[in-house]
């Protein structure tokens, strides 16, 4: 189903976090033991390539059979601490897309919500003053429902408002300050030195389609120059925040990414990429199944989706 050459297809997998241990609040979230198993399956089934190399081979019609890439979005510290040692043990390359505004102690707004709800000692949290109703925290399942509802209601608001409202939720929840969840600059440099590829993912992870072209270009270009100065190397790959075509980015965004000097960009649209596809709209998907054969089945059904 995935031949070599001109008819070749590229499967690109997305990961975000790899937790050291399973999280009862997010039982489906990737953790070290599961990631180790996934890496073993990927290595035995697929030809895993660095993304820049895969893009070049894709355009030249020279991809090997069963070509695949591993990518991570956002820049979580566990990518350095947990995922990288596992990847290296399996000899697998990966690309890490970093939102540069959160390096060195920053935190993404959605994590502020997750950690506030996780830590809140109250059975109900009254967020009516923020227009977010009363959230019930009786059980782990309640907390999970509240997290999903809050994230859903806040995701598409302007960056400043999103930050303000999540800080207000943290304050009302009485949540303690958490250690940094995102990578430090030194950790990004260490990953790059270890042969992992670093790509850009904007500065503050906005929904690019919601910004003016001018603002979007600043977000796109600044993350590139920040990483290039940090690494002393060129950064040619970009991942659109949230990544869904015509909801999170559009053709105007694609042109801005091209104008900023990137070589290729990845989305979160499901499916595979072929030689005829726009390399600024590469598809990716998350195979989240816990069992080997379900995971493999999902890889196969993604190949059929093109
Ligand atoms: Zn992201």
Per the DSSP assignment, residues forming a β-bridge with 265 are 238
Lowest-pLDDT range of 128-132, 139-143, 157-161, 288-292: 288-292
pLDDT of the residue at 306:
60
Q: How far apart are CA 154 and CA 134, in angstroms?
A: 15
pLDDT in tens, 168-196: 999 999 987 677 899 999 999 999 999 99
CB atoms within 10 A of CB 270: 14
Whether the predicted pLDDT of 119 surpasses 90: no
Q: What is the pTM of this model?
A: 0.92
Q: Please provide the DSSP assignment of 162-222 as one string.
A: HHHHHHHHHHHHTPPPPPP-BPPHHHHHHHHHTT-EEEE--SS---GGGS-HHHHHHHHHH
Percent of the chain with pLDDT over 70: 99
Higher-confidence position of 296 and 194: 194
pLDDT in tens, 234-261: 999 999 999 999 999 999 999 999 999 9
- Average pLDDT of the residues of the chain: 93
CA angle (74 as vertex; 198, 186 as ends), nearest 5: 55
201 Cα–ligand 1 center, Å: 7
242 Cα–ligand 1 center, Å: 6
pLDDT in tens, 37-65: 999 999 999 999 999 999 999 999 999 99
137 Cα–ligand 1 center, Å: 27
Q: How far apart are CA 61 and CA 4, in angstroms?
A: 8
Contact 284, 13 (CB under 8 A): yes
268 Cα–ligand 1 center, Å: 10
**Buried-state track 101-122, b at ≥16 Cβ within 10 A, e below 16:** bbbeebbbbbbbbbbbbbebee
115 Cα–ligand 1 center, Å: 18
117 Cα–ligand 1 center, Å: 21
pLDDT in tens, 60-99: 999 999 999 999 999 999 999 999 999 999 999 999 999 9
pLDDT of the residue at 173:
92
pLDDT of the residue at 138:
86
């Amino acid at each position: 189903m995935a031949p070599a050459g001109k008819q070749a297809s590229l499967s690109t997998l997305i990961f975000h976090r790899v937790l050291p241990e399973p999280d009862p609040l997010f039982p489906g979230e990737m953790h070290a033991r599961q990631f180790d198993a996934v890496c073993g399956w990927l290595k035995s089934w697929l030809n895993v390539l660095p993304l820049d190399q895969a893009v070049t081979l894709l355009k030249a019609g020279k991809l090997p059979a069963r070509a695949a890439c591993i990518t991570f979005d956002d820049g979580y510290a566990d990518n350095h601490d947990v995922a990288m040692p596992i990847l290296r043990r399996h000899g697998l390359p990966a690309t890490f897309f970093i939102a540069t505004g959160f390096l060195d102690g920053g935190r993404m707004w959605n994590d502020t919500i997750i950690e506030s709800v996780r830590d809140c000692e109250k059975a109900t949290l009254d967020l009516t003053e923020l227009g977010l109703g009363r959230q019930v925290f009786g059980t782990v399942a309640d907390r999970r429902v509240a997290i999903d509802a809050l994230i859903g209601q806040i995701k598409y608001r302007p960056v400043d408002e999103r930050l303000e409202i999540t800080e207000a939720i943290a304050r009302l929840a009485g949540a303690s300050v958490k250690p940094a969840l995102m990578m430090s600059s030194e950790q990004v440099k260490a990953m790059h030195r270890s042969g992992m590829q670093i790509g850009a993912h904007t500065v503050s992870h906005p929904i690019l389609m919601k910004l003016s072209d001018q603002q979007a270009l600043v977000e796109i270009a600044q993350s590139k120059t920040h990483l290039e100065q940090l690494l002393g190397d060129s950064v040619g790959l970009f991942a659109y925040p949230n990544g869904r075509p015509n909801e999170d980015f559009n053709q105007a965004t694609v042109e801005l990414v091209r104008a900023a000097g990137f070589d290729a960009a990845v989305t979160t649209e499901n499916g595979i990429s072929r030689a005829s596809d726009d390399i600024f709209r590469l598809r990716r998907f998350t195979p989240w199944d816990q069992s080997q054969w379900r995971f493999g089945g999902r890889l196969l059904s993604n190949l059929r989706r093109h």
